[in-house]
Amino acid sequence: MASTRFDILGIGNAIVDVVARAEESFLSRHDMHKGTMALIDAATAERLYAVMPPGQESSGGSAANTCAVAAGLGARVAYLGKVADDELGSVFAHDIHAAGVHFPSAPLHGGAPTARCLILVTPDGQRTMNTFLGACVSLGEADVDPALVADAAVTYLEGYLFDPPAAQAAFYHAAAAAHAAGRQVALSLSDPFCVNRHRAAFRALVAGHVDILFANEVEVTALYEANDFAAAAEQARADVALAALTRSEAGSLILRGAETVHIAAEPAKVVDTTGAGDAYAAGFLAGLTAGRDLAACGRIASIAAAEVIGHYGARPQADLRALVAK
């Protein structure tokens, strides 16, 4: 395989997170399911924001978080996602550039505002997300340059991208371009509710177009409507060349053909789980594209995830390369 300009190209919903601490009672009062992501419209976003506790804004978006973490680990990374030409769009673009990620997507003019995700973090560190997709709904096939896809060893797609309707076409377009160039396609299932919304499409995508699958135990079990995690894991093993399945404090399981590698979770004080899965995928792909073995990939992934859940926000606050070296 010819060498590429990028190790990883992420494609996803470009979102600014608004993170606030809240009690469990706030979630139940507002009909939220703890630990999951709900899509909300502009009016609901405004209503919910008005009653939310004080927040901290930072760039988010699942695949964008993965890209920022992977770049922090030394991988060469590009990202595609749609922001608007507004203040939050500038924040998103600044942060992903400053993280060292190539971000060529043009902002949307005169349409919906930059997407935002209202995140409530409960005292147990779980995050509950409410996403207003805004400008993300305009991302389509035309936003994915096949030459850029061909120039990345792995194209990484977030499952959340299935929510804005036009993005599914971008999804298949990117996968086809990657495979035509002899590259790999990675997918994160993102969220069990997202899997339930799009199960048939996901099943077809995973079986037919995905080389590397990331999922947590709830997501992979939902994808295959399996009776338990072990059964779901075996279906994933049959479907994709490589699967990395996470189980929170129980660590993760990596499957490649007949090979099975168990990775222990890094010890971590859980402050905010936002971005844990994103960081895991980043560490794994940074290791993989650097030619590391599966056990090393899993360890780097776990170290990156532990860093991110130790503070508020989904982007790293420490020097990840130094953490991994230690």
Q: What is the binding site for its own copies (CB under 8 A)?
A: 20-21, 49-50, 52-59, 68, 86-88, 91, 94-96, 98-99, 113, 312-313, 315, 317
Supply the minimum distance, in Å, between the C-beta of residue 312 and its own copies.
Answer: 8
Q: Report which of 107, 71, 72, 69 is spatially closest to residue 88, judged by C-alpha positions.
A: 107
Walk across the sheet containing 77-80 and list its strands.
Answer: 77-80, 6-11, 152-158, 184-188, 212-216, 242-246, 252-256, 259-263
**Which residue's CB is nearer to its own copies, number 129 or number 174?**
129
Q: How many Å apart are CA 213 and CA 125, to the nearest integer?
A: 26
**Cα–Cα distances in angstroms (integers) from residue 77 to residues 41, 98, 102, 135, 286, in the given order:** 31, 12, 6, 23, 9
Supply the minimum distance, in Å, between the C-beta of residue 248 and its own copies.
Answer: 23
Q: Taking CA 162 as the corner, what is the angle to CA 161 and CA 163, rounded to the nearest 5 degrees?
A: 90
**Which residue's CB is nearer to its own copies, number 8 or number 99?**
99
Supply the minimum distance, in Å, between the C-beta of residue 63 and its own copies.
Answer: 16
Supply the minimum distance, in Å, between the C-beta of residue 98 and its own copies.
Answer: 5
**Which residue's CB is nearer to its own copies, number 21 or number 292?**
21
3-state secondary structure 227-258: CCHHHHHHHHHHHCCEEEEECHHHCEEEEECC
Supply the minimum distance, in Å, between the C-beta of residue 88 and its own copies.
Answer: 6
**Which residue's CB is nearer to its own copies, number 102 or number 299?**
102
- Which amino acid is it at 258? A
Supply the minimum distance, in Å, between the C-beta of residue 30 and its own copies.
Answer: 14
**Which residue's CB is nearer to its own copies, number 30 or number 256?**
30
**Which residue's CB is nearer to its own copies, number 87 or number 293?**
87
